[in-house]
Amino acid sequence: MSSYPSTDDCYRIMREEGLSAAVIRHCCVVNAVAMVIARRCGADLDLVNAASLLHDIGRSATHGVNHVAEGVRIAKEHGLPDDLVKCIGRHIAAGFTFEEAEALGLPRGDYMPRSLEDKVVNFADNLVSDRSIKTVAQAAERMRSKGFELTATRMMAMAEEIAERCGVDIDALLAEAKVREAVASGCDKLA
């Protein structure tokens, strides 16, 4: 039996914490993308499922960059497993070094995706804008257009690493799985 919360438990936690319907839909779409990737690359499916659903739990407290630290706090309050808490804390941008996190005013912590599961959730979140799924190139361009060149570069490196682990281009994998077509109605029902 898994030590991670089930899908139903994750939605219950999101609702208990007061996440908006829009954030819940976004988390649902990130989950759909992350699970396709996780299945293909051999990541821990239970961890990716819970982390992708709960990655933005901190948005119940703030929508700023500090939502990641709030998410860690909330996850700890719920007694969630440490690797799940770490995955939630490492989902932002394409990761932050200690110095970058400090410059942003984040509490001291490790915000750089380390494990395969961290990377899958982080990468899936980067591909989802609100609830639309972007191609890898579109996601990188979106970051560059906001002035986040380093984040775009890190995300592209993560894309290459994950594609290598999957044995297929990520855009092709998502198209083959028909994720873009499948998420809209399913995620609207959950929010």
Provide the token pair at 9: 């438990």
Beta bridge partners of 77: none
Least confident segment among 40-49, 85-94, 118-127, 142-151: 142-151
Sign of CA dihedral 136, 97, 99, 101: positive
For the chain, the C-alpha Rg in angstroms (whole number) is 15
- The structure tokens listed for 59 are 């948005």
CA distance 101 to 112: 10
Structure token digits, residue 43: 């990541």
Pairwise CA distance, residues 17 & 140, whole Å: 31
Answer yes or no: is pLDDT of 38 > 90. Answer: yes
Question: From CA 120, how far away is CA 43, in angstroms rounded?
Answer: 8
Q: What's the pLDDT at 97? A: 87
Neighbouring C-beta atoms of residue 160, cutoff 10 Å: 13
Q: How confident is the model at residue 67, as a pLDDT?
A: 93
Question: Distance between CA atoms of 43 and 24, rounded to whole angstroms?
Answer: 23
Residue 6: predicted pLDDT: 97
pLDDT at position 1: 64
Q: Alpha-carbon distance 60 to 84, whole Å?
A: 18
> What span, in angstroms and rounded, lies between the C-alpha atoms of 153 and 45?
27
- Which fold is adopted by the domain 7-190? Hypothetical protein af1432 (1.10.3210)
From the CB of residue 67, how many other CB atoms can be counted at a distance below 10 Å?
22
pLDDT at position 2 is 75
The mean pLDDT of the chain is 92
What six digits make up the tokens of 138? 């579109």
How sure is the predictor about 9, in pLDDT bands with cuts at 50, 70 and 90?
A: very high
174 touches 33 (CB < 8 A): yes
Spans of all domains in the chain = 7-190
Is the model's pLDDT at 184 over the cut of 70? no
pTM of the full structure: 0.94
- Residue 184's alpha-carbon distances to 21, 116, 133, 177, in angstroms, are 13, 27, 10, 14
Q: How confident is the model at residue 110 (pLDDT cuts 50, 70, 90)?
A: confident
